[in-house]
Structure 1
Amino acid sequence: MQFLNGITLLLVYQLVGEIIVRLLGVPIPGPVLGMVMLFLTLMVRGAVPAALDQASGALLSHLSLLFVPAGVGMMVHFHRIAAEWVPITLSLLLSTAITLVATALIMQFTTRWLVRSPEADDAEQGGRPNA
């Protein structure tokens, strides 16, 4: 029964996300908005209910099955993919390169920002050793 309660909770958040997107015309998918709302709810609560934990665990254990519809969709539209393989390949390669560069720059920035060197600490203290 807990699994059913957890799935119901997930579907309610998805439904609420869909309703908000359709009413307000928000340019994001309803399930994504529902997931963000669920995340915020769990952050406020500070814990995951047992029913939601059980349902999400079961869904994650069968996650590979959720890729079957995407694979079928690719086979249905294979003729279009074959006809437009150059722009698809270029966009995939370009977006991957942009993501890698952006991730590297963000990681470099946050590392410099969060990890302070001993020289910077000494300079702030006027070169005095820590007592």
Structure 2
Amino acid sequence: MADLTAKPLKPADGVAGFALLVLCQLAGEALVQLLRLVTPSMIFPGPVAGMLLLLWLLTMIGERARPVIATADGLLGILSLLFVPSAVGIMQYGGLIRDWGGPLLLAVLGSTILTLLVTVGAFIATEKWLTRGRR
């Protein structure tokens, strides 16, 4: 692994590292979508393809990967902050969730089922309408 303490990084290095991370994910998503045009039954997540692309790039650029590694370490360091607000909300509104959790869960499940039924119905109706003109 590269030695991150060799020389301090400039702010532009952090931006470049973040840009490379985002571009690799975008390239992975684009690659998977293009492959799905050729092979529609292919199931492979775009972010995983982006990670594999990033791994390949990091092995190719070697020591110049310091900005990417430093940026990734920084992002991993604050990743847990994304989970704190939801945990605090659950703790703060625990009584409210206990009182209204059942009706809320029922509303979420009911609306999800209704949405799925409407979506399937719209798909079937559209498919019938499109195939009717081909006969």
| TM-score, length-scaled by structure 2 | 0.46
Give TM-score scaled by structure 1 length. 0.48
